[in-house]
Amino acid sequence: MNDFGRARADLVDDLVRDGHLRSAPVRAAFLAVPRERFVTEDLHRKAYVDTPLPIPMGQTISAPSMIAIMLEEAELAEGQKVLDVGTGSGYNAALLAAIVGGANVVSIERHAGLVDFARQNLAAAEIAGVRLVVGDGTLGYEPLAPYDRIVVTAGAPRIAKSWVRQTRMGGLIVAPVGRSTFSQVLVVARRTGEDRVEARESTPCAFVPLVGREGW
């Protein structure tokens, strides 16, 4: 095991100890995906610190503990089809791919430059099959709907109508929702009807804003 591998295993141990990683598939994904491949070289030495890090276009790769909480809340299983809103570095898409299978992941990002960044990172991490789309994820991604899960990693003003309509009945949407652009609470919403969800609040969080037609 190289230094990155050891640092990754130590971080996973910490996330398990702190109760953020709870299930075998999410734990295995964190052990399998090399986070150092999803940050620029100058940040490699910080790749296994539990903190958000800057990525191009003024955006961030989220803190591992936050992503662990979200992926556990999403109750993921192999074979589920997942829409990842806010590709950023591609790290969350890579973790999703490790859990549900790369061909089942669609990831949408508004900055074309970040889609290029994520494409390179996923290739460097040898993760295949993820569908990357440039677009406004507040509108979901209709061409490949419905999804079993929609996981959003930017702060939204509300659960967007498009997400509800593009989630399979009984499926889950996990998104940071808040009245301001700098603080949110993680909302876990299960689709129960045509335009209906049953939602509950999980943990407080702070993501960069979701900018778009049904966002900020």
Please give the single-letter amino acid code of residue 71: L
Nearest to 152 by CA among 173, 179, 135: 173
Considering the complex, what minimum distance in angstroms separates the CB of residue 93 from ligand SAM? 7
State which of positions 193-212 bind ligand SAM (CB under 6 A): 207-208, 210-212
Is residue 137 near ligand SAM by the rule CB under 6 A?
yes
- Token pair of 65 as six digits: 């503990």
DSSP letter at 136?
-
Residue choice 65, 89, 104, 167 for contact with ligand SAM (CB under 6 A): 89
Element (H, E) at 98: helix 91-100
62 is catalytic: yes
Indicate the residue type of 168: R
Q: Which candidate in 23, 62, 162, 180 is catalytic? A: 62
Among residues 15, 69, 98, 154, the one that binds ligand SAM under rule CB under 6 A: 154
Footprint of ligand SAM on 104-133 (CB under 6 A): 108-111, 114
Distance CA 83, CA 85 (A): 6
Binds ligand SAM by CB under 6 A, chosen from 80, 92, 104, 184: 92
Cα separation, 68 vs 44, in Å, equals 20
How far, in Å, CA of 30 to CA of 54, rounded? Answer: 20
Closest separation in Å from C-beta 35 to ligand SAM: 9
Q: Which is nearer to ligand SAM, 132 or 189 (CB)?
A: 132
Nearest to 53 by CA among 68, 70, 37, 40: 40
> Which residues form the interface with ligand SAM (CB under 6 A)?
59-62, 85-86, 88-89, 91-92, 108-111, 114, 136-138, 153-154, 207-208, 210-212, 215
